Structure 1
Amino acid sequence: MSDPKIHVETNNSDRHTNGKNRERPVCESNHKISRPNPFQLGPALKFQPHLIREKCEELVRDGFAERGYDHDVCRSISENVRGNILAMLKTMFDRYRFVVNIAVGGKTGQSVKIVSRALWDADVDNYITINYENRDLYTVATVFAIYFE
């Protein structure tokens, strides 16, 4: 493969530079940039929660197993678990954008209800919710997968 040719153009007549020489590199290359097909009408692989449920449950369980509830520790663990889930999903599903929400709380005898609403295309968008609890804390991880056309 040949290296791209780079040369510098000087534009003296540019009215926005107050008469100063303005140099801008111009790249002439035969390299093709690979981009997803913009005319693709649907995903190559639809987001299907049953394909990732077991792995997501494992990531959440490994992160919070045998932990007591401490606000600062749970925050860093949830950020780490969120990053691991996102990394896994991005390798599996092309052209999807993901929102991962992890709620962690201490068990003190209260009840908790977590709800969400969204406007999306029911044919290609989907979500998955993972619940985990031990004797000291509860965790609810929700992953929203939105197809990006």
Structure 2
Amino acid sequence: MGSDTLTIRPNNAHRFKPAIVKECIHEIVKERLSGVQYQQENVKDLSNSLAVSIKDRVKSLGFDRYKLVVHVVIGEQRGQGVKMSFRCLWDADTDNHVDDVFMNDSLFCCVTVFGGYYY
């Protein structure tokens, strides 16, 4: 047999780790949004920029063969409730997700990162 082997499950060192990913999300969002006031015209660029920064940081953690999907929602803080839901095909043995919420007096930001193992 050659050195080429088919990997159908991630080894423990490369498995998507929600606790570590949540720390990354929390650090980036807190650093980028702490003093920011909600301005509707800036939300699109800000949410895109946050998503790219989070994806790049999570990619650098070395979760080999994981497809990452980063979802960022930013809204004006007015005391309202927000409900979000997602649907997808899921392998409970390999796939995972994590979310985090940031709020200040002016805005809220909900971030969800999905890690789907690529077979």
> Which band: TM-score by shorter chain?
0.7 to 0.9
Which runs of structure 2 are paired with 1:1-149 in the superposition (5 Å)? 39-44=6-11, 45-91=14-60, 92-149=62-119
Unpaired runs of 5+ in structure 1?
1-36
RMSD: 1.5
Instruction: Measure, in 1, the Cα distance between the counterparts of 2:43 and 2:97.
Output: 23
TM-score, normalization by structure 1: 0.70
Report the 3-state secondary structure (helix = DSSP H, G, I; strand = E; otherwise coil) of the residue aligned with 1:103. strand
Q: Which has the higher strand share?
A: 1
TM-score, normalization by structure 2: 0.86
Q: Runs (4+) of structure 1 moved beyond 6 Å? A: none
Unpaired runs of 5+ in structure 2?
none
Instruction: Measure, in 2, the Cα distance between the counterparts of 1:117 and 1:143.
Output: 14
Q: Deviations over 1:7-66 (max 9, x none)?
A: xxxxxxxxxxxxxxxxxxxxxxxxxxxxxx561121131101012221210101112111
Q: Which has the higher helix share?
A: 2
1:126 CA drift (Å): 0.2
Identity %: 31
Instruction: Measure, in 2, the Cα distance between the counterparts of 1:76 and 1:108.
Output: 21
